[in-house]
Chains A and B, each alone.
Chain A
């Protein structure tokens, strides 16, 4: 990783030299900015792609909000956001969006004596905990769905993200869907007015607090929970089954998604039907202008993403992300052909 990053650095330094010397040939750099959640996989794809084609990606993981602001200001070739934009928002700016990679958000907890997957939670119960209405681990509501599990008399401390985050967007979107009370009091956003709890910065901040505080419950990205061997909770999905967070469960949620009928591909994968679906699954999106000034550059950007769709699955899985299925990728490429234009000409054929 360090080696390839070093290589990229040297590569971009060389590119800068070439450009400043007026000798720009062969070397293309595409730029993007936005979501932090998919950054590791984008970096991995970019390194492999640069080795193969010599095209470099400069991706700034400044957060989804920043990504939207940067693409609006046209300082980057593409933006990236964990929360999809609505059709109306896209049309206002003249953008299209497509999902690039998927992941899951996992409730993690720290209750002495409780092992991973031992505690089961229903969706309304999870919402009530994060609303502060269920405030002790020995509450009857928790005991009712966990027969046989001994839970201590211990105050629940909610841990949430302190920074705005796509992870929070997906998590609150799920709570918003399953709890009318959450919908009325809190809502869905990358940052919300939390009714209770403490805030950690980033996934690492949340997990540090959860591991620190006895009786804590928080939410982190799947990859993070897995790599840190955190105690996760089983969740009841829409079909009524309690499922564990696994990449199969995320794929099950994605398989039921109907991208065809989603206007502007505004589709949120939370609370999907399907017996094995993990209820808090989300995709991370790329934002791109429909009208491109430079057809060569536009083609370079789309080529990169097409390559990632076709060749990036293994790399995504190795980092605990869930790649987009082939039919979705094909659908998106068709959309590039029909939507992206440069001076009226089709860019992607």
Chain B
């Protein structure tokens, strides 16, 4: 990389070793102009991202100042949401977001891991390919379709078959109490799980496929079974990429709006029951932004947006830190 060399001057051109015996000058000035243009374009495009991010944050903070002034930090743990008396708190929305995301990740992560291992280690190529396409297709389905499917197909299934059974055996736990409506936190978590599954699976599969064949062969050579190779070699080697995929899915689950709005029940409530309705930050915003006429109401909604922004940022930073730590550890072992 000779990119740090002085730009433009003929001295620099002369200093560049000529390729294939042709003098560098034979190209004329055009490549240099193109270089300069490319650098400027690349730099400003990259800067745009940061400027937009900073701008977003600034606007969110500015627009939510009314709510911040009025409720202070208690906004974060107050469960009130009363537009009539202008009393707002984010707790119910944060709770719903975290609960639905936790359910989704608890289901999607192990499932995608197994699917990815199956595709890479077990399935013959003529089966792995169509299954792989199917999973990529799942990722391409718009979220509103997931939402409608959740409401019209999954919710009745949950109400008529899944929830009554859960209630019969586990109904004494508060986790499974309340009328089986079919919609609520649990259903939202299931729909989310299905939505993030293809992301995690696709990343995991690609990472596992990159594990050098020679390492696996070494494992088999030592007499390891398929399961042992998958667990110790493939997963161990691909851990870093796997975590990246999980965080990609997590980011999508936290911010998902349409599909969740359809099935979560949209009620500002913190309930111990998985069958109860709830609300996520994104669905609260989608539902209430249009009719929020009072300044404090609007400001509280913007502050919810700010919280979502910060949560997403924190998730990303944690992911980076974790990856860095994992990289160090892997480095020290070898």
Q: Is the Cβ of A194 less than 8 Å from the Cβ of B267?
A: yes
Known contacts A66-B290, A164-B293, A186-B84; 14 further A-B pairs (Cβ under 8 A): A65-B292, A155-B179, A162-B266, A163-B290, A164-B83, A164-B292, A190-B83, A193-B85, A194-B268, A198-B277, A201-B286, A212-B155, A213-B181, A214-B159
Number of contact residues on A: which range applies?
A: 20 to 34
Within 8 Å CB of B83, what residues of A?
A: 164, 189-193
Report the Cα distance A165→B287, complex, angstroms.
10
CB interface residues, A 51-91, toward B, < 8 Å: 62-66, 68-69
Min Cβ gap A12→B in Å is 23
Q: Known contacts being A189-B84, A198-B266, A200-B266, is A163 close to B159, with CB within 8 Å?
A: no
A323 at the interface (CB under 8 A from B): no
- For B183, B261, B288, B290, the residue with the greatest tally of chain A CB atoms inside 10 Å of its CB is B290
Q: Is the Cβ of A64 less than 8 Å from the Cβ of B291?
A: yes
Q: Is the Cβ of A165 less than 8 Å from the Cβ of B84?
A: no
Q: Is the Cβ of B287 less than 8 Å from the Cβ of A199?
A: yes
Q: Known contacts being A164-B83, A164-B292, A191-B288, is A212 close to B266, with CB within 8 Å?
A: no
Q: Is the Cβ of B288 less than 8 Å from the Cβ of A164?
A: yes
Min Cβ gap B134→A in Å is 29
A187 at the interface (CB under 8 A from B): yes
Dominant secondary structure at the B interface: loop
Min Cβ gap A256→B in Å is 28
Q: Is the Cβ of B291 less than 8 Å from the Cβ of A162?
A: no
Within 8 Å CB of B266, what residues of A?
A: 162, 198-201, 205
Q: Known contacts being A164-B292, A212-B156, is A198 close to B265, with CB within 8 Å?
A: yes
CB interface residues, A 184-218, toward B, < 8 Å: 186-194, 197-201, 205, 208-209, 212-215
CB interface residues, A 211-228, toward B, < 8 Å: 212-215
Min Cβ gap B231→A in Å is 43
Q: Is the Cβ of A63 less than 8 Å from the Cβ of B290?
A: yes
Residue of B nearest to A193 (CB): B82
Within 8 Å CB of B184, what residues of A?
A: 198
Q: Is the Cβ of A201 less than 8 Å from the Cβ of B287?
A: yes
Q: Is the Cβ of B291 less than 8 Å from the Cβ of A65?
A: yes
Q: Known contacts being A63-B291, A197-B267, is A192 close to B277, with CB within 8 Å?
A: no
Selected A-B contacts with CB under 8 Å, 19 pairs: A65-B290, A68-B293, A162-B266, A162-B287, A163-B287, A164-B293, A187-B84, A191-B292, A192-B82, A193-B84, A198-B265, A198-B266, A198-B277, A199-B267, A199-B287, A201-B286, A212-B181, A213-B181, A215-B179
Interface size on B, residues (CB 8 A): 31
Q: Is the Cβ of B277 less than 8 Å from the Cβ of A199?
A: yes
Report the Cα distance A165→B83, complex, angstroms.
12
A-B contact count (CB 8 A): 98
Contact with B along A128-164 (1 / 0, CB 8 A): 0000000000000000000000000001010000111
Report the Cα distance A337→B201, complex, angstroms.
68
Q: Is the Cβ of A188 less than 8 Å from the Cβ of B84?
A: yes
A residues neighboring B (CB under 8 Å): 62-66, 68-69, 155, 157, 162-165, 186-194, 197-201, 205, 208-209, 212-215
Contact with A along B252-294 (1 / 0, CB 8 A): 0000000001000111100000000101000100111011110
Q: Is the Cβ of A198 less than 8 Å from the Cβ of B267?
A: yes
B residues neighboring A (CB under 8 Å): 80-85, 151-152, 155-156, 159, 179, 181-184, 261, 265-268, 277, 279, 283, 286-288, 290-293
Residue of A nearest to B84 (CB): A187
Within 8 Å CB of A164, what residues of B?
A: 83, 287-288, 290-293
Min Cβ gap B50→A in Å is 31
Within 8 Å CB of B261, what residues of A?
A: 162, 201
Within 8 Å CB of B268, what residues of A?
A: 193-194
Residue of B nearest to A189 (CB): B84
Report the Cα distance A71→B21, complex, angstroms.
73
By Cβ-Cβ distance, the 4 closest A-B pairs, closest first, are A164-B291, A199-B266, A162-B266, A65-B293
Report the Cα distance A192→B87, complex, angstroms.
11
Residue of A nearest to B268 (CB): A193
Report the Cα distance A66→B297, complex, angstroms.
13
Q: Is the Cβ of B182 less than 8 Å from the Cβ of A64?
A: no
Min Cβ gap A247→B in Å is 26
Report the Cα distance A187→B82, complex, angstroms.
10
Report the Cα distance A205→B148, complex, angstroms.
11
Q: Is the Cβ of B151 less than 8 Å from the Cβ of A208?
A: yes
Within 8 Å CB of A200, what residues of B?
A: 266
Q: Is the Cβ of B291 less than 8 Å from the Cβ of A157?
A: no
Within 8 Å CB of A209, what residues of B?
A: 183
Within 8 Å CB of A63, what residues of B?
A: 290-291
Residue of A nearest to B290 (CB): A63
Min Cβ gap B261→A in Å is 6
Min Cβ gap B67→A in Å is 16
Report the Cα distance A199→B276, complex, angstroms.
12
Residue of A nearest to B86 (CB): A189
Q: Known contacts being A191-B288, A212-B159, is A157 close to B293, with CB within 8 Å?
A: no
Q: Is the Cβ of B291 less than 8 Å from the Cβ of A66?
A: yes
Min Cβ gap B280→A in Å is 12
Report the Cα distance A201→B285, complex, angstroms.
12
Which of B81, B156, B290, B291 is the one whose CB lies under 8 Å from A193? B81
Q: Is the Cβ of B182 less than 8 Å from the Cβ of A212?
A: yes
Report the Cα distance A186→B184, complex, angstroms.
23
Within 8 Å CB of A62, what residues of B?
A: 290
Report the Cα distance A87→B56, complex, angstroms.
38
- For A63, A190, A215, the residue with the greatest tally of chain B CB atoms inside 10 Å of its CB is A190
Report the Cα distance A23→B182, complex, angstroms.
59
